[in-house]
Amino acid sequence: MGLAELTLIQKIAVGALPVILAITVHEFAHGWVASKFGDQSAKMLGRLTLNPIKHIDPIGTILVPIVLLIFTGFVFGWAKPVPVNANNFKSPSTDMAWVAIAGPISNFLMAFGWAVVLKIGFLVQASTPEVGQFLIYSGVIGVSINLILGILNLLPIPPLDGSHIASAFLSKRLAWQFNRIAPYGFFILIGLMLLGLLTPLIMGPFNMAKGLLYTMVGL
């Protein structure tokens, strides 16, 4: 029984936890690292929490992942960005880079965790098929959503996390000019997708990372 054979309710049940965790922990990681560097914006606004309700975006966290999961098997989503004020940092550019990379790192760590879940699913499938299958499906989705979210966010396209990392290596003037394209970042991503360039940018690293994870857990 494959993921495509699941009913609508089963697909939503299997995909809900991995997607919500991936998005929630990603945003929490940004806020937590920012707080360590002196910016308490997320904490003051109640966003320094693992409570998914505080981070959910109705479109990006619920509607888009469900539609994608049902019709394509590809899962992606986003949450409300955690507020970060770089003016509160001692070294705004460098500290912001650490805050930015915290999100993708959290996703890669979660991807490893879901790979372990996947391994356990295969181990228990013979004795308890239903539990094993649920763990396998959850593990596959958990690995996929976290790797895709982590890799996509590392692209140096404002306002993605990768743009803040890239800005740390630019002069203040160049970084300012570079980040001026942030309002158009979404349209740049759509353009790359329509040109067929976004998929190879993501899937190449995705396949390498997934292969490494599966090797690490013995799959």
Three-point CA angle 49, 89, 82, nearest 5°: 30
To the nearest whole number, what is the mean pLDDT of the chain?
87
- Structure-model confidence comparison of residues 173 and 194, the more confident one: 173
pLDDT at 28 over 90: yes
**Identity of the amino acid at 115:** A
pTM for the structure as a whole: 0.87
pLDDT of residue 1: 43
Who's near 199: CB < 8 A, 6+ residues apart?
193
Q: Is 78 helix (H, G, I), strand (E, B) or coil?
A: coil
Who's near 16: CB < 8 A, 6+ residues apart?
none
pLDDT at 96 over 60: yes
Q: Say which of 20, 22, 27, 138 is annotated catalytic.
A: 27
Per residue in 132-161, pLDDT (tens digit) is 888 998 899 899 989 999 999 999 999 899
pLDDT of residue 53: 84
pLDDT at 3 over 60: no
pLDDT at 186 over 50: yes
User: Where are the domains positioned within the chain?
Assistant: 3-216
Contact between 31 and 56 under an 8 Å Cβ cutoff? The reply is no
CA–CA separation, 182 and 159 (whole Å): 5
When pLDDT is averaged across residues 112-130 and rounded to a whole number, the result is 93
- Structure-model confidence comparison of residues 172 and 100, the more confident one: 100
For the question of residue 27 being annotated catalytic, the response is yes
pLDDT of residue 6: 61
